[in-house]
Every structure is written in C-alpha cells, then in structure tokens.
Amino acid sequence: MVDASTSAGAAVAKPAGRRRWLIIALLFVATTINYIDRTMLGLLAPSLGQEMGWSENDYGTIVTAFQAAYAVGFLIMGSLIDRFGPRIGYAIAITIWTVGHVAHGFASSVAGFMAARVVLGVGEAGHFPSIVRSSSEWFPQKERALAIGWVNSGTTIGVILTAPTIALFMTYLGLGWRETFIWSGLFGVLLLVLWWKFYSNPRESGKVSEEELAWIEHDPPEKVEQVGWGKLITRREAWAFSVAKFLTDPVWFLMLFWLPKYFSTTYGVDLKVVLLPMIIMYLLSDIGSIAGGWLSSRLIQRGHTPNFARKITLLISGAAVLPLLFVTGLSNMWLAVFLIGLALAGHQSFSSNLLSIPPDMFPKRAVASVIGLGGFAGGIGGMIMAKSTGLVLEATNGNYTVIFMACTAVYFLAVAAIHLLSPGLKRIDL
C-alpha cells in the first residue's frame, strides 16, 4: 500500500541539524517530572493514611478528585494551548501543576488533599496536548510517531524515579513528607525556566538550519486559523480518537493504581520496597513506546500510507497485550512480571501511535483541542474502570481474570472504532 501523496517530500533529504531532537529531549524531561509529581502521593499514601487517619474511602475520594479534574482539565488546557500556542500554553500548565504539587505539603485534611489534587490534575492535563502540538510543529508526519514514542517513554521513567526521589529528600536530606512535596516543586520551577528559554516555533527559534527547517515543513502546507469546539465535535475523526482513548486509557490507569496491590496480594511483594519487578515491567513498556513509534514512522518512510502504517502498528500493539490473559494463576512471579511487561509495552506502543493520529488528520491549530477531547474521554473511562475494578474484585474474591480479559479486548475494539469512524485517516478541511 503505497501512496504517492506521502512521497511528495521524498526529495527533501534528512538534514544534519538536530534542533528538533533537543525539543524532544526537553519534552522527555517534562514527562518524567510530570509523572514524578503525579505518582508521589501514591507511594506516600500508606504512611500518610496512618498519620491522617484516612479510610480506604477517603483515599479513593482523593484519587477520584484527581481523575475528575484531569478529565475536565483536558478540555480546558487543550483549547488554551491551541489558542495561545504550546510555548505559552504549556508554561501555564507547568505553573498550575507545580502549584498543585507544592500545595500537598500544606494540606492537613481530606478536603485539603482533594483541593491539591484538583489543581495538580488541571495542570497536568495540559501535558499531552502540549506534547502532540509541539511534535506536530517540529516533526514531519514520517518522523512524528517516533518522536512521540520517545517522549511517551518518559511516563514510565517518571514512575520508576519517584521512589528514589522520595528517598533523596526524606532519607538522605532528612526532610519530612511536607518538605518533600515543597522542595520537589523546584523540579517544576526548573522545567518552567528551561521551557521558556528553549521552546519556540521552528521558524522563530533562530537555531534551525535551512535544511532542517525544510525537512520539518516538507509536509503539504495547511491553513493557519483558530478552530472552535463547534467544528471539532461534529467531526467523526475527532470521535475516532476519543473513543479509542476512552477504551484504552483505563488500562494504563489500572496498571498504575492496581499493580502494587496485585503483587502484594498474589505474591506478597511490596513494589515500593522491591523495585526490580517494577523496573523490569516499566522498562519493557519504554521499549514498546519507542519501538511502536519507530515502526509506523519507518513504514511511512518506506512509502506506505499513514492509514496503513498507523493501523497495522495499532493491531500489532494490541496483540502484544494478549499475554495478559495468562497472568492470573501463575505461581512464578518473574514470568508474570515478563508477561505484564509485554502488555505494558503493547499499550505504550499503541499510545504512541494513537497520539500521532490527530496531527495526521487535523490542522496544527486544532491538534491540542482534539487531544483534549480524547483525554477527557480517557479520564472518564479511567474513572469507570476504577469503580468497576473494585466491584469485580469484590464479587470474585480478588480474581483479576475478568479484568485482564477486558484489558486485552479493548485495543481491538479501539482499532475497529477508528477504522469505522475514519477509514482512511485522511486530512480534513475544517
């Protein structure tokens, strides 16, 4: 399946310049900090729960507050980033989530932690719209999925580094948990400074060679105009992305919030103390994120249509999640670690390509809003998954079989939805 339209810029050779990869490195660091800030409360929750006298329901309420704010925040931040551009929009997002992160250090009640999580969730919702919008500005279509794959791998690096970050402040520097939240907010301040210093539109940066700029801009030109919500929500292509996010994002939330509990109840292992299983699983997911982005980008570079490249990679990614079916009942923990790691790799590969689809179809000024719409749908799906998981585990005496079966099916349903709603992933004129 070769499309001549994808070869329009074939005469433009890859440039010697690498400024666009500096932008990806900056976004990778931003993703890592984003996930450290997001994950820190989860690792501190057991000790905080004892100190604060939280019930399970109290902690569940705090988590739900974050997920709700995160979902609604996608709609707000996506539109804001499209309106003002990623340089200003993401700077606002970093500021908001850093304030929310630091606010944890001043909270003394369930309501206080809920308020801090709401501010954090609204700010962090601006992260992925900024990533995809920035990538669409700095990378041509045939490289974009690989770039997003590298950035997306920062999510798991952030999860892995959260425990060492807490140890740095609390064990080596002797700080309490309140001071740990406050002083680790310096990561967000540093990120804000770096973002404002290094990020700009390629043409405005003054650091991009003519050859690299020609490579970045060799896709067909598009109209530059502000796109309103009224136009977006009527497009089947926007709903194709949103339905896929609604179906698949909950799997990632499940793994973040329930894997520690699964390993504790099944194998008697505390992943906050025994880090190797978590490191293995999340490093495998990093490999999947980068490999999935590389595969679809490589297929486009070899002349295949973006429609073929994205969808075949999505199907392969979904197939990589299937080993999750065989995890329950395994007595060998390390085999379970490997199979769950493969499933996480499949999810991250799927995610890298799914995030690459909106720039394939929509003009740059609409990309962040479409990502925001999909992120909202994914957040709602995550809330449903959290509640459903608890009910299923209660009804089945802690058996994860039905849950893992559902996790393997949703990827193929998502690909079917994308294909039905956007059979050719064609660019649209809004």
Closest CA to 346 of 309, 298, 378, 314: 314
Q: Report DSSP state, residue 304.
A: B
**CA-CA-CA-CA dihedral for 76, 77, 78, 81, to nearest 10:** 130
User: How far is Cα 86 from Cα 82, in angstroms, rounded to an integer?
Assistant: 7
Please say whether the beta carbons of 336 and 327 come within 8 A: yes
Q: Report DSSP state, residue 429.
A: -
Q: How many CB atoms lie within 10 A of CB 323?
A: 20
Q: Report DSSP state, residue 41.
A: H
Predicted confidence at residue 271, as pLDDT, reads: 73
**Residue 2 φ/ψ, nearest 5 degrees:** -115, 135
Q: Is 2 helix (H, G, I), strand (E, B) or coil?
A: strand
What are the distances in angstroms from CA 82 to CA 23, 135, 231, 354, 374?
18, 13, 14, 19, 15
Predicted confidence at residue 3, as pLDDT, reads: 43
Predicted confidence at residue 226, as pLDDT, reads: 60
Token pair for residue 369? 């809003």
User: How far is Cα 128 from Cα 18, in angstroms, rounded to an integer?
Assistant: 22
What are the distances in angstroms from CA 211 to CA 70, 168, 218, 308?
40, 44, 10, 29
Q: Tell me the chain's radius of gyration from C-alpha atoms.
A: 21
Q: Which residues of the chain have pLDDT under 50?
A: 1-10
The residue count for the chain: 430
Predicted confidence at residue 4, as pLDDT, reads: 37
- Domain map (residue ranges) of the chain: 18-421
Looking from the CA of 352 toward its CB, the CA atoms found within 13 Å total: 35
**Residue 37 φ/ψ, nearest 5 degrees:** -65, -35
Q: Report DSSP state, residue 423.
A: T
CA 277 to chain centre: 21
Spelled out in words, what is the top-level CATH class assigned to the domain 18-421?
Answer: mainly alpha
Per residue, the 3-state secondary structure of 180-237, as one string, reads: HHHHHHHHHHHHHHHHHHHCCCHHHHCCCCHHHHHHHCCCCCCCCCCCCHHHHCCCHH
Token pair for residue 302? 């070899």
- Counting DSSP H helices and E strands in the chain, the numbers are 17, 0
The β-bridge partners of 2 are 304
Predicted confidence at residue 223, as pLDDT, reads: 60
User: How far is Cα 250 from Cα 379, in angstroms, rounded to an integer?
Assistant: 8
Please say whether the beta carbons of 128 and 97 come within 8 A: no
pLDDT digits (tens, 9 = 90+) for 280-335: 998 999 899 999 989 998 999 898 999 999 999 999 999 999 999 999 888 899 99
Closest CA to 139 of 85, 215, 78: 215
User: How far is Cα 198 from Cα 412, in angstroms, rounded to an integer?
Assistant: 39
